[in-house]
Amino acid sequence: MSSLSRFAGKSPWLYRINAGSCNGCDVELATTAIIPRYDVERLGCQYCASPKHADIVLITGPLTTRVKDKVLSLYDEIPNPKVTVAIGICPISGGVFRESYTMSRPVDEYIPVDVNVPGCPPRPQAIIEGIAKAIKILESRS
């Protein structure tokens, strides 16, 4: 194996899916991409624009009826092995939206979730910790 392929194997790419969030968690995710103190690049990660290149998927927001099929389609495009991280309380339980008529079910009833990062919204430190756990899970699956 060349040194380049070994390096690429240890540099997970992150893909973010917004499943209908209020954008609070997305703002906190943005801090992990641009603020050096919480930058995911120190873990060797970077965000990617295509689900076909992703290793770790970050899901924010409750799974709304309107976007459910699109979220499931995007998730299926991510190659295996993949690790799923639910960011915020909404993908875990629906959060404040759980009784809404627009809510589907919690994300883990449709997609296997490996790491939960609770909070409304979670702090950047918690997101970084969740991504670090996801990296360890991804390494064990590779």
β-bridge pairing 13-18 and 115-117: unpaired
Higher pLDDT, 10 or 86: 86
Quick one: pLDDT at residue 105? 81
Q: Which of 84, 91, 94, 90 is nearest to 130 (CA)?
A: 84
Each residue of 31-70: pLDDT tens digit?
A: 988 888 888 888 889 999 999 999 999 999 998 889 999 9
Name the more confident of 123 and 97: 123
If pLDDT is split at 50, 70 and 90, which confidence band does 9 have? Answer: low
Domains, the chain, ordered by start: 3-141 (3.40.50.12280)
Question: What would the pLDDT profile of 77-96 be if each residue is shown by its tens digit?
Answer: 999 999 999 999 999 998 88
